[in-house]
């Protein structure tokens, strides 16, 4: 039997993109408008706006720096324009140089280097125009499933997530890991109460203690506030859907990680060390998670939604858009009572609960959808007509001063 494969864009560093994004990356929030203006005449350019201020300290600035470099190095970015003011907390030139190590076309400019705002906008637009035709005309070539890095997430979870969408993702993850690929789960808060199951699957004693360390850190930080987290974790939507406690939500959530051993734990903004199944340490907040996955090199995300009101949000839950063009999202529905909004989803896992399809059949549909998406087929959210832009969030652990 021939091994599964997909058709992607091979970059000069060996990574394989599944989309050809022309990325405009501001290095701080003061440069968001500059990014928007540079991109405004290039329909295929994507200005990735975010919250990096000048008011963060050491570790948070380092993580944001790593994150921006990671976003630029993501294989779905075909070419990258890095823009700044010149007085930003992070260096446009340095970030551009680190991204350029991939061999992809990279340019940087600041208001300072161009002499004026108007000149920076002119130069940015001219560079994007040059890249646009080169980026779009590239052909796809055959790539192995081992070139795929898949983020996995659940949201709007209810009791159906644990018996439909999440186990379907778990089977697909097992299959991807067997094929030599990579999968990344996160949402450390939502591992509380299920960490023993993950620790038992750690590839090494070090990974085992890392899992325990990151889960204890978030649990201790919640307890230290003295605030009862009920009503926030689980969320009001989770509770309406029949989930009572955080550990119940966590136990359902980790089912999407499948059954294979866990190869590593890495911090938000960084990349996993090698292939296999990895944990990215990040809270369960979509605008931060998506930046983290894209910076980690993920090319696509599988997102399992339970049902109820969260399933009725047509955009990507937790945002006002369809997601990041750098990270196409495949959405799965679990709750059969929400089948009237199944058009918002790419895979309908709720058939499992109706007895219409087996879990294996749904997992196979998801696998086929992964391959089709990786080969260029748009997901529902990729074509979502967002009414506004999204400001993505940097992860902040220290003080804002």
Contact set with other proteins (CB under 8 A): 158-160, 162-163, 192-194, 197, 219, 222-223, 228-230, 233, 239, 241-242, 244-248, 251-252, 255, 307, 335, 337, 353, 355
Q: Taking the CA atoms of 74, 381, 151 and 182 in sequence, report the sign of the dihedral they define.
A: negative
Cα(46)–Cα(55) distance, rounded to whole angstroms?
26
- What is the nearest approach in angstroms of other proteins to the Cβ of residue 189? 10
Other CB atoms within 10 A of residue 116 CB? 10
Query: Which residue number, 119 or 232, has a Cβ lying nearer to other proteins?
Result: 232
Q: Are 100 and 106 in contact, with CB atoms under 8 Å apart?
A: yes
- What is the nearest approach in angstroms of other proteins to the Cβ of residue 185? 17
Query: Which residue number, 241 or 328, has a Cβ lying nearer to other proteins?
Result: 241
- What is the nearest approach in angstroms of other proteins to the Cβ of residue 237? 12
Q: Are 259 and 176 in contact, with CB atoms under 8 Å apart?
A: no
Q: Are 331 and 307 in contact, with CB atoms under 8 Å apart?
A: no
User: How, if at all, do strands 300-305 and 149-155 pair?
Assistant: parallel
Query: Which residue number, 157 or 299, has a Cβ lying nearer to other proteins?
Result: 157
- What is the nearest approach in angstroms of other proteins to the Cβ of residue 316? 23
Residue 54 phi/psi, 5-degree rounding, is -95, 10
Give the CA-trace dihedral at 189, 181, 288, 366, to 10 degrees: -80
Other CB atoms within 10 A of residue 236 CB? 10
Query: Which residue number, 57 or 251, has a Cβ lying nearer to other proteins?
Result: 251
Query: Which residue number, 1 or 224, has a Cβ lying nearer to other proteins?
Result: 224
- What is the nearest approach in angstroms of other proteins to the Cβ of residue 302? 20
Query: Which residue number, 91 or 229, has a Cβ lying nearer to other proteins?
Result: 229
How far apart are the two ends of the chain, measured CA to CA in Å?
59
Other CB atoms within 10 A of residue 78 CB? 21
- What is the nearest approach in angstroms of other proteins to the Cβ of residue 160? 6
Bridge partners of 302, per DSSP, are 152, 330
- What is the nearest approach in angstroms of other proteins to the Cβ of residue 335? 7
Query: Which residue number, 84 or 307, has a Cβ lying nearer to other proteins?
Result: 307
C-alpha angle 77-286-324 in degrees, rounded to nearest 5: 25
3-state secondary structure of 315: coil
Query: Which residue number, 239 or 342, has a Cβ lying nearer to other proteins?
Result: 239
- What is the nearest approach in angstroms of other proteins to the Cβ of residue 310? 13
Query: Which residue number, 87 or 223, has a Cβ lying nearer to other proteins?
Result: 223
Transcribe 223-279 into DSSP letters: HHHT---TTTSS-HHHHHTT--SHHHHHHHHGGGG-SSPEEEEEETTS--SSSEEEE
DSSP assignment letter at 325: T
- What is the nearest approach in angstroms of other proteins to the Cβ of residue 387? 32
């Amino acid at each position: 039997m021939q091994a599964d494969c997909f058709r992607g864009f091979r970059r000069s560093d060996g990574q394989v993109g599944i989309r050809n994004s022309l990325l405009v990356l501001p290095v701080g929030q003061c440069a968001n408008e500059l990014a928007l203006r540079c991109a405004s005449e290039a329909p295929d350019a994507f200005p990735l706006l975010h919250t990096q201020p000048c008011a963060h300290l050491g570790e948070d600035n380092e993580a944001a720096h790593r994150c921006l470099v990671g976003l630029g190095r993501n294989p779905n970015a075909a070419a990258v324009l890095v823009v700044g003011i010149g007085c930003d907390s992070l260096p446009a030139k340095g970030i551009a140089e680190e991204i350029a190590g991939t061999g992809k076309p990279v340019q940087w400019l600041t208001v300072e280097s161009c002499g004026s705002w108007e000149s920076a906008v002119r130069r940015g637009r001219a560079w994007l125009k040059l890249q646009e035709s080169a980026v779009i005309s590239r052909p796809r070539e055959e790539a192995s499933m081992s070139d795929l890095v898949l983020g996995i997430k659940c949201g709007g979870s209810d009791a159906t997530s644990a018996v439909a969408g999440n186990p379907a993702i778990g089977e697909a993850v097992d299959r991807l890991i067997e094929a030599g690929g990579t999968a990344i789960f996160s949402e450390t808060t939502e591992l509380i109460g299920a960490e023993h199951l993950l620790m038992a699957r750690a590839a090494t004693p070090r990974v085992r203690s890392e899992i325990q360390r990151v889960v204890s850190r978030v649990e201790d930080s919640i307890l230290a506030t003295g605030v009862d987290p009920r009503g926030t974790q689980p969320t009001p939507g989770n509770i309406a859907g029949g989930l009572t406690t955080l550990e119940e939500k966590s136990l359902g959530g980790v089912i999407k990680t499948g059954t294979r051993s866990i190869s590593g734990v890495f911090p938000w903004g960084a990349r996993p060390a090698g292939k296999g199944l990895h944990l990215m340490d990040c809270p369960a907040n979509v605008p931060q998670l998506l930046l983290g996955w894209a910076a980690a090199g993920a090319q696509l995300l599988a997102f399992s939604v339970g049902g109820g009101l969260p399933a009725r949000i047509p955009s990507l839950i937790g945002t006002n858009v369809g997601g990041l063009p750098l990270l196409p999202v495949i959405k799965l529905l679990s709750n059969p009572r929400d089948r009237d909004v199944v058009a918002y989803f790419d895979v309908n896992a709720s058939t499992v609960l109706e007895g219409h399809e087996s879990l294996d059949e749904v997992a196979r549909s998801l696998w086929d959808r992964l391959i089709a998406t990786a080969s260029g087929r748009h997901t529902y959210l990729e074509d979502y007509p967002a009414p506004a832009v999204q400001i993505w969030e940097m992860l902040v652990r220290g003080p804002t001063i």
